[in-house]
Copies of this chain bind each other. A is one copy, B any other.
Amino acid sequence: MKRIITIGREFGSGGRELGRRLSEQLGIAYYDKEIVSEIAKRTALSEEYVQQIMEHRPLISFPITIGRSFSPVGDAAFEQSQAIFRQQHEIIQELAKKSDCVIVGRCGDYILRDLDPLRIFVYADMESRMERCRSRAREGEDLSDKALQKMIRKVDKERKQYYEFYTGLVWGDRLNYDLCVNTGSRPLKDISAAVARLIGG
């Protein structure tokens, strides 16, 4: 049986670290930045630009109606977001068909739904998410508690909007996942071992 794991995650909950651990433990691929690089290659856009687009849902621009005429002019930025999502969709499907893998974020659960992935959602209480953010912050990056909480909520909001725009599903709704794990209460290495057991590793 194919072993494909998708991980949706709240910001600062350690979803990426769990993904890496799982890929090592199971000896399967872990795709993250590779997807961005591949999109950049295929679209001739810079990786930074692709990354930035991928973190936000496109802003919908309404068609301009002048009198009774209807302007067919599209919105270039909107079209580009859509094109990048289509590329992402294609690349993720190609990768997952090629070999067993872990895919973090990027609507992987939705894009790979026909391959029956193990869909995980990773979450934690605000306090442990703040702690995790601080532990991995670069030197000199020293936000106040209030500013850090605001940042965490902002990123979550963007992930939610992005996910819901492209999937039509509710981000974090347990029914969209096979397993939701609280990384605030158990060590990641134990969680990783349990998840590996669930997928037969």
Contact = CB atoms under 8 A, between A and B. Distances in A.
Interface residues of A, number: 22
Interface string A158-191: 0000000000000010110111111001100011
B175 A182 contact: yes
Nearest to A187: B198
Nearest to A180: B180
Given A194-B194, A197-B197, A198-B194, A182 B186 contact: no
A182 B182 contact: no
Nearest to A123: B174
A191 B175 CA distance: 16
Contacts of A193: 197-198
Contacts of A178: 181-182, 185-186
A75 interface: no
A59 B186 CA distance: 37
Contacts of A28: none
A40 interface: no
A53 interface: no
Contacts of A194: 194-195, 197-198
Given A123-B175, A179-B182, 6 more contacts: A174-B174, A186-B198, A190-B197, A191-B198, A194-B194, A197-B197
